[in-house]
A = this chain, B = another copy of it.
Amino acid sequence: MTKQERGARTRHALIRSAAELFERHGYARTRLAEISSDAGVSPGALHFHFRNKAAVADAVEAAAARTLRDAAYRTARRRPNALQTLTDISHVFAFMLSQDVVVRAGFQLGHDTVRCPGLDLRQEWEDCVGQLLDRARKEGSLAEGVPLGPLTATVVAATTGFEVLGRTDGKWLSRHSLTGFWQLLLPLVATSQALSTLAPDGAGSVADESLLIPEEFVPEPGP
């Protein structure tokens, strides 16, 4: 292993350990010493990578954003249809939230009252939903008279609810729950022609392992 690879591996271990501690104890109660000790790393090594706790939180959020954006990009590329893309991305994100503590912590940190605001993954998600539904309208797959604003708000609110409720009860992030939601909503909002091609269960998007490969250890420069 090169020195760069070792550095990236250490950084990755610190981000994961921080995400676990933020989730368990909250940002305010997590101490830097715990992050390094849980990662099996010396305090000096932590300080080589991160100036302070806020910098670690920024890195957790950035890692979550990279994972989610990459999955969204790859899902969108495989789907010609905006409604199916939205359905698939929601399934992929729910799966990632249920499996990946960094993704969960990334969402939570954006709304931690103690921390200075960093990235806002919920706002990014809202923009993504809005853009995809706007594309669906342009593609002609939204039924006549479906109002874009309330539809976007409903999808954003419901998926945010699945994320938040899923923190204490995993059933909310199951494929079954998301499928039930889309089975209810899609017949209301899609034209009957579009509906016949849509798969509310995400059409195997989660089963496709290429979307879910673990984060790579891409070497990054130190501070």
Contact = CB atoms under 8 A, between A and B. Distances in A.
A167 B28 CA distance: 19
A187 interface: yes
A155 to B, nearest CB: 9
B122 A165 contact: yes
List the 3 shortest-distance A-B pairs measured between CB atoms, nearest first: A150-B180, A157-B161, A160-B161
Given A150-B181, A184-B154, A114 B26 contact: yes
Contacts of A114: 25-26, 29
A75 interface: no
Contact of A164 (B25, B149, B164): B164
Contacts of A185: 154, 188
B26 A167 contact: no
Contact of A149 (B149, B153, B159, B180): B180
Nearest to A23: B113
Interface of A: 23-26, 28-29, 111-114, 122, 146-147, 149-151, 153-154, 156-162, 164-165, 167-168, 172, 177, 180-181, 183-185, 187-189
Query: What copy number does this chain have within its complex?
Result: 2
B29 A168 contact: no
7 contacts: A24-B113, A111-B168, A147-B180, A147-B184, A150-B183, A150-B184, A157-B165
A149 B177 CA distance: 9
Nearest to A160: B161
Contacts of A165: 122, 156-157, 160
Nearest to A117: B168
Of residues A113, A161, A167, A183, which shows the largest number of chain B Cβ atoms within 10 Å of its Cβ? A161
A95 B53 CA distance: 36
Nearest to A151: B184
Contacts of A157: 157-162, 165, 172, 181
A167 B164 CA distance: 13
Contact of A153 (B28, B177, B187): B177
A159 to B, nearest CB: 7
Given A161-B156, A172-B157, A113 B25 contact: yes
